[in-house]
Amino acid sequence: MTQAVRVVQCVLLKKEAPGLERPVYPGDLGARIWRNVSKEAWQRWIAHQTMLINEYRLVAVEPKARKFLEAEMEKFFFGEGATKPEGYVAPT
């Protein structure tokens, strides 16, 4: 038996799109992501988060890094948008 695809009005893509299969982040922010972020938008965040971790040389388990990444996630989806580190050049 196939499971129905959950559709959300994605805040990042500004259109209806398949939603996440399960909550991916805890707390209130996680609930907002679950209700308002599509699979595609979440994958865009994962790529952006990876770039932030690499460029800033973050250790994702450190509380300061986690707080920074959570604030960036909030901006990425619900705020003014994400920024790239100064001088960042995307790989070709």
Sign of CA dihedral 55, 60, 65, 66: positive
pLDDT digits (tens, 9 = 90+) for 16-63: 999 999 999 999 999 999 999 999 999 999 999 999 999 999 998 999
pLDDT digits (tens, 9 = 90+) for 54-65: 999 999 899 999
Cα separation, 92 vs 35, whole angstroms = 34
Q: Which residues on adjacent β-strands are paired with residue 15?
A: 10
Which position has the token pair 């699979």? 39
Domains and CATH numbers, the chain: 7-78 (1.10.3880.10)
Name 76's Cβ contacts closer than 8 Å, sequence gap at least 6.
12, 45, 48, 82
Q: Which residues on adjacent β-strands are paired with residue 7?
A: 18
pTM score of the predicted model: 0.88
pLDDT digits (tens, 9 = 90+) for 65-90: 999 999 999 999 999 887 788 887 77
Cα separation, 3 vs 77, whole angstroms = 27
